[in-house]
Homo-oligomer: A and B are copies of this chain.
């Protein structure tokens, strides 16, 4: 599915900046931060537009946020079966300390944990740090 179709599927206006951001995600292997995207746009679009685009994409379920230990907010493309507000991104995220690239390990499912009495569980995120395949 190309960028334009994805936008239409999620009922979003097809605009230059949205197409660019989406294509950047599709080309990038791993997860991207706001500044990653901004630098790849090479000043073509305003910072504010990027912020708003990312927010819109996240709301629609086109991208999902990845938790990080520092304060970088990372985003990555969701799989096709994500819908508004209901993401299926229960995969493990891997942060390589060598190349510093964060990737979604789609094939590794987050294991189930048993919480103490009284806790109701909603969503689980898991981030593994280490050295990736390409850097080992």
Interface residues of A (CB under 8 A from B): 65-73, 92, 94, 97, 105, 107-108, 110-133, 136
Contact = CB atoms under 8 A, between A and B. Distances in A.
B136 A120 contact: yes
Nearest to A68: B67
Contacts of A121: 128-130
A65 B69 contact: yes
A72 B70 CA distance: 8
A87 to B, nearest CB: 12
Nearest to A109: B113
B126 A125 contact: yes
A78 to B, nearest CB: 14
A113 B110 CA distance: 8
A97 B122 CA distance: 9
Given A67-B68, A126-B125, A127-B67, A108 B118 contact: no
